A and B are shown apart, each in its own frame.
Chain A
Amino acid sequence: MAPATDVLPGEKGGDLYAVLGLEPRASREQVERAYRSCLELYGEGSLATYTLVDPAEAEQERVRLREAYEVLVDDDKRRAYDEGRGFLPPDASVLPFPVAAPDASETELPAVLTGADLRKIREARGLSLRHIATVTKIGKRFLEYIEEDRFDFLPAPVYLRGFLQEYARLVGIDPRKAADAYMSRLEPGSSTR
């Protein structure tokens, strides 16, 4: 049998994480983001796949994605699945650095958060952007754009919200409130994208 290092991308279709292009122990936010992104990949008129798969195959892919997502997004189903497969549960304690204290999420957040505010909070926690990029797998460049308020360079709001929540979780502030406070400064129309 070939050693595991010989497995090519696209071949490791064995588990539900691989269906979404994830590793076991992926965070809930990663599952959400991966699912949305994969759905887009096989959406109608997707530029990236229309020459590779026909409409019927795209539909099959969407069904597989939905089946994987429905298990991985449900805490009980995911626990049962992980146990059955021998996967460890998602766990922040494997992070290569200390995460913010859990009570930090009680921090009062202003109604509007700028990129500079986020940077201050992050630096106060002693976390580098590189650490955040490594753990969340969000490109470091995007994290920089977030902190620099370079809205032109930021991804679509649906992704941006995910990025912000992941960022917030790591620096120990309320993910939902932080995303709302940051995104309150974007043009209202743009949130429909």
Chain B
Amino acid sequence: MALTVSEVLPVAARTRRQIWSVGGGKGGIGKSLIAASVGWQLARMGRRVVLVDADLGGANLHTCLGLPPPPRTLADFIQRRVSSIEEVLSDTPAGGLSLISGAADLLSAANIKHLQKVRVMNQVRALDVDVVLIDLGAGTSYNILDFFLLSDVSILAVVPEPTSIENGYRFIKSALYRRLRAAAPNERIRDLVLAALDPKNPEGIRTPLDLLARVEAEDPEAARALRRELAGFQPRFVLNEVRDVGDIAIGHQLVAACSRHLGLKASYAGYIHHDDTVWQAVRRRRLFMSDAPTSRAAEEVRQLTRGLVKGESLGSGY
């Protein structure tokens, strides 16, 4: 069952605290490094930030930050070995930035139950910080999609390679259809949304826009509800490991393709060049933001983060 906003937080708790998440479907595209470096930069900009490593099966955010495996992890909280989420917070070398580590040792945690998820989400929301930045794991499991959907800023990491872009679209579609299904007012509309998930469905629904047209014909009231969900879902692309201007332009094309074929108002938050200094810092188990602050990648992360804070994106160029 998808989490709904009202289930997760009481109205009074909706402060200016923001939840940001980094997803992308595919592994090895730099989600953790993006989360770590953007979090680091946010802290540099004076925000109080908690990084949450929600990659419960393959947690490594601590390594990105140059830390040893923390003594307590999210698993301790999920298994109720500690009662509050504050007890699993670790400090980092950067002032204002702390970390909640994932559970490298606990495979089953990747399939936490619905109520546990609500408990995690509520406590994460209640943390006394400015930004909670969640590094989602690879894949499109419901837990990952729900964290992504509940974020104020949903960052979608891709690298300019077919496999990553394919998974990126799959991630967006899975998240979107999950959101639409949760908003469907009745069984018939839910069935239509489910049918749309199968690309060869007999209804001939191939895109979210097809689905919307179909629902519109049957149930205009339901169509309005789905339309609101579509309009409210605005993933922000970050293109990682770009090598030339042709790669940079792909970000604009992804935004255009989302608009033209998925009915989504995505945006292009920024890009990070392939940069050997990043890799060298990773080898030394240091974060390039502090290890190589003058590198091109570090400058691009600073620009990217400033843009995300202001809600700005790269213009389409026409």
Query: Could you say which of A47, A142, A193 contacts B165, with CB atoms under 8 Å apart?
Result: A47
A46-B253 in contact (CB<8A) = yes
- On whether the beta carbons of A52 and B257 are closer than 8 Å, the reply is yes
Q: Name the distance in Å between A166's Cβ and chain B's nearest Cβ.
A: 9
Contacting pair B263 A10 (CB below 8 A):
yes
Which residues B114-166 have CB closer than 8 A to chain A?
Answer: 160-162, 165-166
Is the Cβ of A51 less than 8 Å from the Cβ of B245?
Answer: no
Q: Do A41 and B256 form a contact, CB below 8 Å, given A2-B227, A11-B209? A: yes
| A2 touching B256 in the complex, CB below 8 Å, given contacts A138-B317, A139-B315, A155-B249 | no
Q: How far is the CA of A48 from the CA of B255 in the complex (A)?
A: 9
The residue among A11, A34, A48 with the most chain B CB atoms within 10 A of its own CB is A48
Majority secondary structure, B binding face: helix
A137 and B316 contacting across the interface, CB-CB below 8 Å: yes
Which B residues lie within 8 Å of A184 (CB)? Answer: none
Chain B minimum-CB-distance residue to A152: B296
- When the two chains form their complex, are residues B315 and A8 in contact, meaning their CB atoms are under 8 A apart? no
Contacts A11-B209, A49-B257 given; indicate if A137 touches B165 (C-beta within 8 A). no
Q: Which of A2-57 contact B (CB under 8 A)?
A: 2, 6, 8-11, 21-22, 30, 33-34, 37-38, 40-41, 46-53
Of residues 116 to 162 in A, which have CB atoms within 8 Å of B's CB atoms?
133, 137-142, 154-156, 159, 162
B263 contacts which of A9, A30, A51 (Cβ < 8 Å)? A9
**Of the residues A37, A52, A53, contact of B317 by C-beta under 8 Å:** A37
* Per-position binary interface string of chain B over residues 220-259, scored 1 when its CB falls under 8 Å from any chain A CB and 0 otherwise: 0000100100110000000000000110111011101111
Residues in A with CB closer than 8 Å to B249 are 37, 40, 155-156, 159
Q: Main secondary structure on chain A at its contact with chain B? A: loop
Q: What band does the interface of chain B fall in when counting residues whose beta carbon is under 8 Å from A?
A: 35 or more
**Does B298 make an interface contact (CB < 8 A)?**
no
Q: Smallest CB–CB gap between A57 and chain B, Å?
A: 9
Q: How far is the CA of A6 from the CA of B250 in the complex (A)?
A: 28
Asked if B209 contacts A141 (CB within 8 A), the reply is no
Q: How far is the CA of A92 from the CA of B172 in the complex (A)?
A: 39
- A163 to chain B: closest residue by CB: B317
- Bound together, the chains give a CA A101 to CA B169 distance in angstroms of 47
Q: In the bound complex, do residue B253 and residue A9 qualify as a contact, i.e. CB atoms below 8 Å apart? A: no
Interface residues as binary, B14-44 with A (CB distance below 8 Å gives 1, 0 otherwise): 0000000000000000000000000000000
Q: Which B residues are in CB contact (< 8 Å) with A37?
A: 249, 252-253, 256, 316-318
A53 and B261 within 8 A (CB): yes
Q: Which residues of B contact A33 (CB under 8 A)?
A: 317-318
**Min CB distance, B211 to chain A, in Å?**
12
Is B265 in contact with chain A by the CB < 8 A criterion?
A: yes
B260 within 8 A of A: yes
Q: Is the CB of B224 within 8 A of A141?
A: no
Residue B303 CB within 8 A of the other chain: yes
Instruction: Please indicate the chain B residues that have their CB under 8 angstroms from the CB of A48 in the complex.
Output: 165, 250, 253-254, 256-257
Find chain B residues with CB under 8 A from A142 CB.
315, 317
Q: Say if the beta carbon of B314 comes within 8 Å of chain A.
A: yes
Q: Is B262 an interface residue when CB atoms closer than 8 A count as contact?
A: yes
**Are A137 and B317 in touch, CB under 8 angstroms?**
yes
Residues of B within 8 A of A163 (CB): 317
Which of A22, A47, A53, A159 sits near B253, CB closer than 8 Å?
A47
Residue numbers in B under 8 Å from A138 (CB-CB): 315, 317-318
Mask of B83-124 contacts with A, CB within 8 angstroms, 1/0: 000000000000000000000000000000000000000000
A188 to chain B, nearest CB (A): 17
Taken together as a complex, chains A and B put the C-alpha atoms of A9 and B245 apart, in Å, by: 26
Given contacts A48-B256, A155-B245, A159-B249, contact A10 B162 (CB under 8 A): no
B261 and chain A: residue at smallest CB distance:
A52
B262: nearest residue on chain A (CB-CB)? Answer: A10
* A contact residues around B230 at 8 Å (CB): 8
> Across chains A and B, which 9 residue pairs bring their CB atoms closest together, nearest first?
A139-B315, A48-B253, A9-B259, A33-B318, A8-B263, A34-B318, A10-B263, A48-B257, A52-B261
